[in-house]
Structure 1
Amino acid sequence: MPAALTELDHQTPQWQRNSPLLVVPSWAASLAIHSLLLFILISSLNRCDSGQTGGTDGELRSVGIYVKQSPDAEKTDETEQETQEETQNNLASQTQEPLKDVLDQPPVDPLLPELNSKLLGAGPTRAPAVPNSPNSDLTSNLMSPSSALAPPVMGMGNVNFFDAVDSGKRFVFVLDCSGSMAAPQGAPIRKARSELISSLSGLTHHQQFQIIFYNTTTRAMQHRGKSAELLYATDINRTLARQFIQSVEPDGGTDHIPALKRALNFQPDVIFFLTDAKHPQLSSADLNEIRRLNRGKAKIHCIEFGEGFPVMEGNSLEKLARQNKGSYRYYNVRKFLRNR
């Protein structure tokens, strides 16, 4: 056996017998080789992450995908678009047909409400008509001052003044403001003012009124220096009336006839006449003149202020009311003191 080994050793070259690989186990060599391959693979992946493509000047480039539609798809899109356009045209034509029918109709007079805007005075009793010509400018007519300031249409309504109730369109209040209306303690004039303001608040915008205070002269409510006239009972006119009523103070003597004649000149439906003067009494000639001027058109209601019990026999105020289809009422001013 030793002889055989010796012979084998002699057959193996000298460099092979001295090689270090014969000393390293095979598993260790395999491990080293696989580790080297793994290192090379990791190095390659790191280069890809840093944007290098293997060269020193490598760059990252975006990649896009272009999809080209087929001719059949393009035809389908065109067909859908034509269908949508045809639908829109049909809707537009359907909308224009009723609009054309409306535009082809003849113009109609608009039913405009009567405007209550003649706030500071009287005027015509109806608003100007709106032209129905197709060529007329409707907007300019509606916004013009003549149509915007149209007064309300007159209407009937009831008015209560010191429990004398009557209905009509035009009312005139005639109040005595002589010096005797200040006694006792200013009660008569104070009561007359409050009742008059209350009566005006009961008027509607379709009724007209005028106020006359008198002693030996007459003073009617005026607007901006114009001549006195009947005023519509608008909110502003009632406010101006309250200011006028509060501005009057009792003073002077008494003269009934000028005040009654001025009231009749307004051609009212109803006259409320208030006085506390027993003297001067209205004479028969005065009563006849008032009746002649009135001609039965206006009802005259008389309210008398006094102290104590009324004197009915020969009372000219009671006759004035009776001859002109009105009523007569008497009030003891002492009751105004207790009810203050």
Structure 2
Amino acid sequence: MPAAFTELKQQKSRWQSNSPLLAVPSWAASLAIHSLFLLILITSLNRCDSGQTGGQEGDLRSVGIYVKQSPDAEQIQESEQESQETTQNQLSPQDQVTEVMDQPPVDPQLPELNSKLLGAGPSQNPSIPSSPTTDLTTNQLMSPSTALAPPVMGTGNVNFFDAVDSGKRFVFVLDCSGSMAAPQGAPIRKARSELIASLAGLNHHQQFQIIFYNTTTRAMQQRGKAAGLLYATDINRTLARQFIQSVEPDGGTDHLPALKRALSFQPDVIFFLTDAKHPQLSSADLNEIRVRNGGKAKIHCIEFGEGFPVKEGNSLDKLARQNRGSYRYYNVRKFIKNR
């Protein structure tokens, strides 16, 4: 054996005899190696937990595995949640009533009404029972304290044959004697058209009455009721037109009963139209009308005739001046030309 090989063998024997591993038992070395592997495994798991997730559509598991849900699974899960919510919200009618009744009362917050627009209203409330368990009887509902009041009357100008006046209550007194049909029916036709136009100028808060007369008087009235002042509503104006068209000239003339009936309605204004020069109102008739009126109503007189007017000794002119009214004369021949 060569000398070099013999020397190498001797050095190897010395290294093995002096190595520290020969002094450590085999079980201790095995324990150290397994501990090292366990430490490496734990470190790997911690790195997986602190890493990024698999995305917004998946979940991160403890072992670091990313699981992605399919669209079908998401729809199934959503439908299960909706069915659970629907089941919770579905209550029996009795439970719903109980839940509502158990809630505390809430005071409604209503906006304040503009008193300038609606008015101050009544100073006292109607005497209606306030107990919720008390039922209102028919007599209580129809009593004056609870019934609706009629519309408030208002003033306004009215024009009848250029006699213009204002007030709340108007009475139109028109002669319908046989002479109003001549010539050619022009006087009665003109009187009708002017009267209908005057009624159209009234507002709903004003009242009116129409009296046609010859030797008797005929006032407009509602069926089954006594004649009285009527509000100028659309319905009453329509009824008035029908009443006006139904009157035909006939008979003689008697002024005083018609004027006395007109004053009985206590109007603010009377429009008095006639074509009869005869008979004239006597001084006694004029005095009776003036006393009955007492200066309350204005009486405007319109006279139909032919030719020029004669004011001297004209009873219609005196009637107007004694009752704060005006007098007007119209030649009926002009109605024929302008019809």
Question: Smaller-chain TM-score range?
Answer: 0.5 to 0.7
**Runs of at least 5 residues in structure 2 that lack an aligned partner in the other structure:** 1-72, 74-87, 89-98
The two structures have a TM-score, normalised by structure 2, of: 0.61
* Residue 101 of structure 1 pairs with residue 112 of structure 2: no
* Count of residue pairs the alignment pairs up: 231
Partner residue, 2:58: none
Partner residue, 1:327: 326
The runs of at least 4 consecutive aligned structure 1 residues that moved more than 2 Å come to 99-103, 110-114, 128-141, 144-151
What letter is aligned with 2:194?
A: E
The alpha-carbon distance between structure 1 residues 138 and 279, as it changes in their structure 2 partners (threshold 3 A), is farther
SS of the aligned residue for 1:101 comes to coil
* Alpha-carbon offset, residue 299 of structure 1: 0.2
The alpha-carbon distance between structure 1 residues 267 and 164, as it changes in their structure 2 partners (threshold 3 A), is same
* Residue 201 of structure 1 pairs with residue 205 of structure 2: no
Q: Take 1:248 and 1:280, find their aligned partners in 2: how far apart are those partners?
A: 22
Q: Take 1:244 and 1:111, find their aligned partners in 2: how far apart are those partners?
A: 41
What letter is aligned with 1:245?
A: I
* Alpha-carbon offset, residue 111 of structure 1: 11
1:118-163 Cα offsets, whole Å, 9 max, x none, are: xxxxxxxx9x97556533789999xx67878742111111110000
* Residue 301 of structure 1 pairs with residue 297 of structure 2: no
Partner residue, 1:248: 247
What letter is aligned with 1:320?
A: L
1:295-325 Cα offsets, whole Å, 9 max, x none, are: 0000000000000100010010000000000
For residue 131 of structure 2, the aligned residue among 132, 135, 142 is 135
SS of the aligned residue for 1:281 comes to coil
Q: Take 2:307 and 2:263, find their aligned partners in 1: how far apart are those partners?
A: 31
Q: Pairwise CA RMSD of aligned residues?
A: 3.6
| Percent identity for Structure 1 against Structure 2 | 79
What letter is aligned with 1:174?
A: V
The two structures have a TM-score, normalised by structure 1, of: 0.61
**Runs of at least 5 residues in structure 1 that lack an aligned partner in the other structure:** 1-64, 66-80, 82-91, 115-125
Q: Take 1:166 and 1:185, find their aligned partners in 2: how far apart are those partners?
A: 31
Partner residue, 1:176: 175
1:23-80 Cα offsets, whole Å, 9 max, x none, are: xxxxxxxxxxxxxxxxxxxxxxxxxxxxxxxxxxxxxxxxxx9xxxxxxxxxxxxxxx
SS of the aligned residue for 1:100 comes to coil
| Kept in 2: contact 1:130–1:138 (CA 8 A) | no
What letter is aligned with 1:257?
A: L
Q: Take 1:303 and 1:131, find their aligned partners in 2: how far apart are those partners?
A: 51
SS of the aligned residue for 1:329 comes to strand
Partner residue, 1:187: 186
The alpha-carbon distance between structure 1 residues 337 and 266, as it changes in their structure 2 partners (threshold 3 A), is same
